[in-house]
Amino acid sequence: MRISHRARAVAPFYAMEFGKHAAALEAQGHHVVKLNLGEPDFGAPPAVRNAMREVMDGRPMAYTAALGLPALREAIARFYLDRHGIDVDPARVVVTAGASAALVLATAALVDPGDEVLIADPSYPCNRQIVESFGARVTLVPTTAGTRFQLDAASVRSHWTDSTRGLMIATPSNPTGTSVPAGELAALCDLARERDAWRIVDEIYLNLGDDDRGRPPRSALSYDPDAVVINSFSKYFGMTGWRLGWCVVPEPLVPAMERLAQNYFLCASAPAQHAALTCFTPESLAVCEARRVEFAQRRAIVLDGLERIGLPVPVPPDGAFYVYFDVTGTGLTSWQFCERALREAYVALTPGRDFGVHTAETHVRLSYAASADELREGIARLEKFVASLR
């Protein structure tokens, strides 16, 4: 069968490939500590699970409107007001099958073949695959610990060309867990707006971020109401498999998003949308906030452990549950480190190769979405493994 050029050009998502190896080892009876996937172990808040049980009462589950259940769009808009003090018109909220579908729809709505899009290296790999699938060209902008492995206005300015049409930013970032500082994010959005370029800001980890002087971290919408902002029920609400997310888009983009959503997806999962209304109750939000505190404790376990082992973390995370550590001192490439850690210590990690080229061979991503016990076990195994290399 002839497979399209587009499909052949898509690289595998190595985190998932390592996941497959880990599953094979588990099938052979090994206990693998899985620190390779960004999947919170908590699951949905209890009230949301109960709501799902009630929704599944035998009624036919029809498609919803392509842009999502009106009540859910309103609840999401209210969440921006209550948590971030931002007034969002519910008509600008598009409910999607996870942030992934929001990224596909927003990219489809904004890019044309030949456009150039600037993305940080390292960054979430699926974005560049999506952009390139629509015929646009990605320029990976190398970042360093000095800019928290994020884009900054100076590097974006120096990579800008006549073909640049947009910026994709994820803050906090996967794989580094680090956020773009508030002033820098405003500067990036200003720079793109002045050049008539779009900016997609992926805030899927925003609500897991550390408080900013006692207040929740700020959404890009507070600096730039015309940014396309992506979010999801997957991470803060612990609902990865429910396949539910959203984006907030400028009003003129809504009809294009609606046409694309009608054609690509019809709608996001109807039962998930109905049950997700319960995410925004005080009870569920209190559960999510308690988990945010627990993630901070897990982060401390990992950062202390990696320091003890002698695996440097150039920038400690302040939001997403990832630590990006440097394995140069072990004498292994990050790929070798991950392969051997899995084979010899039964710890699954993700090599930097997934996230770009600049730090691909030197850095490894560890996800601390696993339980504290699993993290302690994983760190103990890594300690022995690294000692065995010396």
Rg, Å, the chain Cα set: 21
Q: Burial code of 52-85, b = ≥16 C-beta within 10 A, e = fewer?
A: beebeeeeeeeebebbbbeebbbbbbebbeeebe
3-class SS of residue 325: strand
Q: Which residue in this structure is represented by tokens 């927003």?
A: 106
- Residue of the chain from 66, 99, 117, 268 that contacts ligand PLP (CB under 6 A): 99
- Residue of the chain from 171, 234, 269, 334 that contacts ligand PLP (CB under 6 A): 234
Mark the segment that binds ligand PLP (CB under 6 A) among 77-85, 92-100, 284-292, 332-340: 92-100
- Number of Cβ within a 10 Å radius of residue 357: 12
Nearer to ligand PLP, 86 or 170 (CB): 170
Nearer to ligand PLP, 276 or 309 (CB): 276
End-to-end, the C-alpha distance of the chain in Å comes to 49
Mark the segment that binds ligand PLP (CB under 6 A) among 97-105, 107-115, 255-263, 305-313: 97-105
Nearer to ligand PLP, 103 or 156 (CB): 103
Nearer to ligand PLP, 68 or 330 (CB): 68
Nearer to ligand PLP, 202 or 326 (CB): 202
Residues 146-175 that bind ligand PLP (CB under 6 A): 170, 174
- Residue of the chain from 14, 18, 38, 108 that contacts ligand PLP (CB under 6 A): 38
Quickly count helices (H) and strands (E) in the chain: 13, 12
**Least distance in angstroms from the C-beta of 261 to ligand PLP:** 15
Residues 170-229 that bind ligand PLP (CB under 6 A): 170, 174, 202, 204
* DSSP summary character for residue 212: B
β-bridge pairing 116-121 and 164-170:
parallel
Cis bond leading into 316, ω under 30°?
Answer: no
- Residue of the chain from 14, 18, 79, 124 that contacts ligand PLP (CB under 6 A): 124
Nearer to ligand PLP, 99 or 188 (CB): 99
Give the type of residue at 233: F
Nearer to ligand PLP, 100 or 284 (CB): 100
Residue nearest ligand PLP, Cβ-based:
98
Q: Alpha-carbon distance 130 to 261, whole Å?
A: 16
Q: Which two tokens stand for residue 63?
A: 């498609």
- Residue of the chain from 19, 40, 90, 98 that contacts ligand PLP (CB under 6 A): 98
CA dihedral sign of residues 277, 282, 287, 289: positive
Residue count at the site for ligand PLP (CB under 6 A)? 13
CA dihedral sign of residues 73, 79, 82, 86: negative
- Residue of the chain from 217, 238, 245, 351 that contacts ligand PLP (CB under 6 A): 245
Q: Which two tokens stand for residue 90?
A: 């519910």
284 interacts with ligand PLP by CB under 6 A: no
**Least distance in angstroms from the C-beta of 124 to ligand PLP:** 4
In the complex, the residues that contact ligand PLP under the rule CB under 6 A are: 38, 98-100, 124, 170, 174, 202, 204, 232, 234, 240, 245
